[in-house]
Structure 1
């Protein structure tokens, strides 16, 4: 058992975390303000970020791949004798036939897998659950400022958070590190001793997250019976029941997603397809030194007849062309590495959004926010409607604030029709001035001819 001093310290820490003024988010990597305008420079600035970036998720595998590629290249160029070099070149030419989309359709495999994972991830995001809508209805439907009514509404909100915590306790490793069991939730004040005893006495091999929802429904029924819900019909109660049911169903959907993941065989296919592709590329994309020269010296001299016959018999024309340039760094393969490995890393990071990656859901913060906002709404916002006074605007509201401001437009932002209109206007002005000058010249010439005797 935890001592009273430790429990009091835990409650104080939890209270301080609730009082924290920071803005709570569900994801740790936020960059939407940077791209408030869809300009090339704004999106280019994202390339220099590290947390949650492409560079962070692939750098280790890319460095390892380049290291092995370099070792293989140095071994081929410096350590192998003539016969071994020829065998290595034949080995490279053999595997070079099995690279590209014709061998393994990586684009199709990754596209389908990533779309499936993203749909699954977005559905889980929409099902995380929020106490604000239920708390708002509780503050509106259940009337009364006495201590019993306040405790009832606060407990309903706490039961919602307790249900959420019990689900996260099963599916989130990060949440289990902070709250490893129900005893830790009791120390945090999310569940009390009486409620914890009832849960322990209930014999069930399955998750008991339905119990707090049942308690919340019982309290709503009790409030209706005691006249705390001011309504002649049961519409308010039915509405609250529906909100609680949806809240519980959403959490069950998240639990089902985590308990029934994407079939393991498909995940293995995607993982092996990408890694084996670049394992083959370690040899298939090596640049061959066809001339066998190192430092200007031919290491394996051959007569022209043998070389030409060997070249014509062992090399296909396309392979001859492919290895016609001797390079050292695999530029094209590194570009493929960025796209393919980065693509599969996106799916792997979204596969379990309750883990410890940079872009995973911050369920600890979500739980704190739900409890904080829910208690504030049902307790602090009750019966605090501001005094009603007339707004300072006219009857039509045409003088309301936030009028459209004139946007500064650069020359690049000017549309083509506006440029055409400006050119036409300048052209018309020039033509009119030209006609005016001609008319004035004709008039002056005519008047001078009339003055002659």
Structure 2
């Protein structure tokens, strides 16, 4: 850029541009790009990883239900399937809240009923409960009441088994609540704007300050003239790539290729829990 401009600028204009370049070079380094961008990416990656660690998996709870809820008859099998269904329903309600892909797949509670996660009677009870907040906790209440009823009926033979089931249920509920909390309290938009502005402002300043000036003027650090600013390009690739990583990970429940496959998790949890109980039935015969 600078060698081309020497053909059209007068000597006075050249000296003025060189002063502007030196000025930008002096103050561009005062923008704390590394600190601001590094702290921002660390925050985004930590949130992304914590959300992955808190994805609700029903496996442990299904194992407890399969081993602790007794009964080879139809009622016993229905009891176990209903408990597991409440668990999967809870995770589905959370995913409908945090994932756009799941919300498109289950836009209304009618779709939830059609998919078999909820009965029409349960939907009526669910809709009759008036609350301004997300009602993902209602299936957990049904789960706890049904498990307590199973203990009273002798389907759960020991109170310790009931306690273990409820403890696992609370652990599962904590995972769901954590995902809801991350979706509810996001990274402040102004922070993202500040980081983006800092990165692009820095490189706009570098576009002028990193020009190779006339070596005859003996400016410090400008005694050599390179056609390709290699290290400036590397710096641009690293910083802009760093920023793009944060933009990609800031919403892990979106519809991008690298986001969490919430629909796959729902299908996987449903298949694992149902097949686990199905295997338990075959081993009893």
Same fold (TM over 0.5): yes
The structure richer in helix per residue is 2
- Other-structure match for 1:198: 125
Structure 1 distance, partners of 2:182, 2:4, is: 48
CA contact (8 A) 1:159 1:215 kept: yes
Tell me, what secondary structure is at the counterpart of 2:116? Answer: coil
Structure 1 unaligned regions, length at least 5: 1-71, 292-310, 312-316, 387-453
Q: Is the 8 A contact 1:156 1:216 kept in 2?
A: yes
Corresponding residue SS for 2:194: helix
Residues 16-55 of structure 1 mapped to structure 2, 5 A cutoff: none
- Flag the structure with more relative contact order, 1 or 2, with Cα contacts below 8 A and sequence separation at least 6: 2
2:241 is matched with: 342
Distance 1:329 1:178 in 2: 50
The yes-or-no answer on 1:381 pairing with 2:285 is: no
Structure 2 counterpart of 1:324:
223
Contact 1:169 1:181 in 2 (8 A): no
Q: Does 1:220 align with 2:147?
A: yes
Count of aligned residue pairs for this structure pair: 285
Asked if the contact 1:76–1:88 (Cα under 8 Å) also holds between the matched residues in 2, the reply is: no
Mapped pair 1:279 → 2:204: yes
The alpha carbon displacement at 1:79 in A equals 4.7
Deviations 1:390-409 (A, max 9, x none): xxxxxxxxxxxxxxxxxxxx
Q: Distance in 2 between matches of 1:228 and 1:78?
A: 91
Task: Give the match's secondary structure for 1:381.
Answer: helix
**Residue of structure 1 in register with 2:70 after alignment:** 143
Structure 2 residue aligned with 1:235: 160
Match of 1:162 in 2: 89
* Equivalent residues of 2:24, 2:205 under 8 A apart: yes
Corresponding residue number in structure 2 for 1:411: none
The DSSP-based 3-state class of the residue aligned with 2:283 is coil
Whole-angstrom distance in 1 between the partners of 2:11 and 2:189:
46
What is the rounded CA distance, in whole Å, between the counterparts of 1:74 and 1:222 in structure 2? 84
Identify if the C-alpha distance between structure 1 residues 183 and 88 changes in structure 2 by more than 3 Å, giving closer, same or farther: farther
Residues 154 and 379, structure 1, Cα contact 8 Å, conserved in 2: no
Unaligned runs of 5+ in 2: none
Please report how far the alpha carbon of residue 188 of structure 1 lies from its aligned counterpart in structure 2 after TM superposition: 2.1
Bigger CA radius of gyration: 1
Displacement of 1:198 in angstroms is 1.5
Does structure 1 residue 110 correspond to structure 2 residue 37?
yes
1:263 and 1:90 map into 2 onto residues whose CA distance is 38
1:28 matched to which residue of 2? none
| CA RMSD of superposed structures (Å) | 2.3
Deviations 1:234-262 (A, max 9, x none): 11111111111111111111111111123
Q: For residue 98 of structure 2, what is the aligned residue in structure 1?
A: 171
- Structure 1 CA distance, aligned partners of 2:207 and 2:141? 60
Q: Aligned equivalents of 1:286 and 1:92: distance in 2?
A: 7
Q: CA deviation at 1:111?
A: 2.6
